[in-house]
């Protein structure tokens, strides 16, 4: 009888413990609120003198957090990169910051760090409340050193600033030069109390990167998508991380490592990633017109195999993959009839193969209904390859938010 009573007490205690722990809130976890893809060198702009200089770089958040941490990259450097000091603050426009929000960045408690060649580092947690859709200013001082190769994201569609000397704590830089690229800054993660907080990675080329979108306005299609997700209660806890590289290719070296080569770094390594939208391939197709590569061959099946590899690798990490059709490009400098046949075949495969967890039809969203090989006029930036701001908005509006469930 005593044994039976003891067993009943044990069961009752176990039940009460299970009920009490079930009602405890899950601990907050790190989720990326902003990110970019680094690559080797700056193919579009002259690299400024970086040593004995402060870089003040402006980035735009997508979800809020109660704490943050900053990622710095030397992934493409051939020498160790010495960071003498770094800070983060709320931006108040141009090179100015809200001085009351200024926080020093530390790394294992130290105010400086040496980043080995090929590596990235994550700062210590900063107890800084960060709103959604706000600009942060990340300031990095680089002391005198040898920097032969930079890890950079070229053509950021965002003004950043550089000035000689250590000014990481200055409320405003005195006479900075404007730089159009992000150097060494890779991402910002936040601790979010939002239920089911997670990240959506947008993975692509210049159209995802936001080429020709209005400068300093955050009018890339991933920016518009972030606003839509935030406004929808069912998806309001999702961030958007833009991992587009202008000129990037899926299978060959164009600008930056090809998509398959950078997949682990730019997707799997992101904090809290749950979804990825893959929208790339038009530069592989455009390379068919390269006069200096007469032996270059490409088929629709080549691209399809590349996409299938991405899906398999993402699924191994529990990440859902959404495939996006390639937008029209007739009239662009590298349009060919063979390339158009490949684009149409790939688009059909994306929509019908069942390989992806969901699909988005960017082609349908942006094309001219009367002439489907070209952009609708209001959606064409003018080069017949990149959308206008209205085109980027139309792309984001075409995404069914029920894909994110």
pLDDT in tens, 191-205: 998 889 999 999 999
pLDDT band at 27 (very low <50, low <70, confident <90, very high): low
- In the chain, the percentage of residues whose pLDDT exceeds 70 is 93
Q: Beta strand 273-279 with 320-324: parallel, antiparallel or unpaired?
A: parallel
pLDDT band at 3 (very low <50, low <70, confident <90, very high): very low
pLDDT in tens, 302-347: 999 999 999 999 999 999 999 999 999 999 999 999 999 999 999 9
Exposed / middle / buried, residue 344 (Cβ in 10 Å: 0-12, 13-18, 19+): middle
pLDDT in tens, 56-80: 999 999 999 999 999 999 999 999 9
Q: With 50 as the cut, is the pLDDT of residue 21 above it? A: no
pLDDT of residue 205: 98
pLDDT of residue 6: 43
Q: Where are the alpha helices (DSSP H) in 172-290?
A: 206-209, 221-231, 259-263, 282-286
pLDDT of residue 48: 94
The mean pLDDT value for 5-15 works out to: 41
Q: pTM value?
A: 0.93
14 compared with 152, residue with greater pLDDT: 152
Least confident of 3-12, 74-83, 231-240, 300-309: 3-12
pLDDT in tens, 94-108: 999 999 999 999 999
34 compared with 15, residue with greater pLDDT: 34
Q: Which long-range contacts (CB under 8 A, 24 or more apart) does 401-405 make?
A: 401/228, 401/229, 401/232, 401/234, 401/235, 403/275, 403/322, 403/357, 403/358, 403/360, 404/200, 404/229, 404/234, 404/235, 404/238, 404/275, 405/234
């Amino acid at each position: 009888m005593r044994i039976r009573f003891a067993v009943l007490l044990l069961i009752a205690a176990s039940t009460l413990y299970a009920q009490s722990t079930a009602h405890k809130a899950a601990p907050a976890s790190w989720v990326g609120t902003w990110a970019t893809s680094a690559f080797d060198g700056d193919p579009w702009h002259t690299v400024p003198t970086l040593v004995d200089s402060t870089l003040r770089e402006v980035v735009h958040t997508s979800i809020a957090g109660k704490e943050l941490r900053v990622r710095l990259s030397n992934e493409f450097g051939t020498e160790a990169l010495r960071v003498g000091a770094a800070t983060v603050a709320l931006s108040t426009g141009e090179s100015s910051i809200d001085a009351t929000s200024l926080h020093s960045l530390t790394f294992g408690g130290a105010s400086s760090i040496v980043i080995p060649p090929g590596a990235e580092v994550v700062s210590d947690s900063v107890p800084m409340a960060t709103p959604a859709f706000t600009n942060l200013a990340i300031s990095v001082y680089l002391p005198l050193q040898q920097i032969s190769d930079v890890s950079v994201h070229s053509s950021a569609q965002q003004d950043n600033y550089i000035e000689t000397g250590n000014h990481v704590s200055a409320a405003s830089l005195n006479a900075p030069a404007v730089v159009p690229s992000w150097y060494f800054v890779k991402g910002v993660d936040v601790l979010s109390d939002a239920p089911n907080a997670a990240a959506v990675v947008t993975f692509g080329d210049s159209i995802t990167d936001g080429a020709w979108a209005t400068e300093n306005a955050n009018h890339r299609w991933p920016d518009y998508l972030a606003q839509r997700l935030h406004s929808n209660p069912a998806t309001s806890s999702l961030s958007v991380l833009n991992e587009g590289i202008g000129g990037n290719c899926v299978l060959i070296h164009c600008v930056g490592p090809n998509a398959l080569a950078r997949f682990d770094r730019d997707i799997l390594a992101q904090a809290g990633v749950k979804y990825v939208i893959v929208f790339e391939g038009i530069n592989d197709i455009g390379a068919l017109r390269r006069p200096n590569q007469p032996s270059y061959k490409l088929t629709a099946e080549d691209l399809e195999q590349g996409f299938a590899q991405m899906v398999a690798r993402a699924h191994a990490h529990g990440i859902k993959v959404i495939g996006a059709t390639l937008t029209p490009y007739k009239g662009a400098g590298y349009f060919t009839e063979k390339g158009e046949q490949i684009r149409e075949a790939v688009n059909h495969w994306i929509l019908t193969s069942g390989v992806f967890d969901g699909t988005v039809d960017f082609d349908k969203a942006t094309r001219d209904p009367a002439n489907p090989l070209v952009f609708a006029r209001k959606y064409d930036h003018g080069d017949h390859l990149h959308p206008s701001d209205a085109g980027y908005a139309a792309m984001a509006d075409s995404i069914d938010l029920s894909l994110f469930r």
